[in-house]
Structure 1
């Protein structure tokens, strides 16, 4: 089995979740009867098949890419696996010049990585200097039924309770704000 040439691209987005994207392209010289339409299955073909299944990779090249030039040669398929198959289109063209391999063209529209939300300022509470008696009176005197429980939706009720609690904390617990630092990317863009 030849050493494959590999290509890795990261990241791609799946919903709100950042996931690493795996793309592997290579001349593996493997055969698998059911999966790669080969006339037989060999051990490397089984290994590559199991690897692709285990890592949820899809083969994008579906037709033989090597034209047999001698009797008894088998047509090979160059492999292009990816974890994000909808991002790639693979097409085959006639060989260039005297090559015995079809030309494989794989396209992937490149789009910028969506910007991340800027870091939010966070409250830093100084509980040691809080005016606990005043905060207690604030909660005792607060019109709970009129404000918190006027809505029937539990999510809205929870939002109202949070708003009232934070309002009391801001009034009676000294606080400051953190200075958000710009986040550094976890990968090198060069």
Structure 2
């Protein structure tokens, strides 16, 4: 009997107040077999809606971020039985982060986000914040899902009638962090305003359903087809070209009998050529092998891994002897060095991507 691949079904919608639409949301979640619901513009407040009033049987009580003023707000309903926790990622923007362990072995960092429609087109603060939040979430999660109403416009990316600074910032954020935007149908009028962005591998399909109540935003259903994810470390060789012995490498290549390497069969010739050049590199160019993991951010470098390892080692020693002032000092220095190293690596990657964006050299993305 063929085993069905595990999947995750996520619902996203702007409810324009969920308070009087909980029953309809419950029916939608049950009839569509939804695992996670992300609702924006909930317009909830502790004095307006108790936990019992917005709870849905079969789902945990909603994880909420209410506004102190009228309007806004985000919430997440999660099916009972799923292992989760709320992440300690605080922001002035309307975002809410949780981590969810899926049956496939993947651990997702899921963000519910809302950028009000009253925001100026030039206001990109939520995307700046998400840049930092995604990095934090990736410290404990293998994959990222960001879902919400962003009220952003981008002619080429989202098929909008115009392009705003916020729309460009959303596209840049996806590019920098390796996220794909999955929603392809309009969610309000002719615009795609409600976005589901992720780096989840495999097939992700989306459909739209009628709005809840009198909301003017469609309900988005995103289906993630999951495969077992075992984040085994891999190795990466980094060559120290600045310390290479170029004269000896040149002499090594000059003494090569190229006639014995370049023959009639191009495949064999290519293999022999690669072996010869690699042999020379191993002899005359210093190198170091680093371990990397699939969950590492796209900008992560071997230097980042080394800096984090030094910090962890220093922390373990200090943890075992917390009264040792020298170990405490070593740990603080290693922690500072790690923070600076990661910031430099990310900044370099961002500069590189921005340059590619300016020159139009980015490859088309899905």
TM score, norm. by length of structure 2: 0.25
Structure number with larger C-alpha Rg = 1
Higher relative contact order (Cα pairs below 8 Å, separated by 6+ residues): 1
The structure with more helix, counted as a fraction of residues: 2
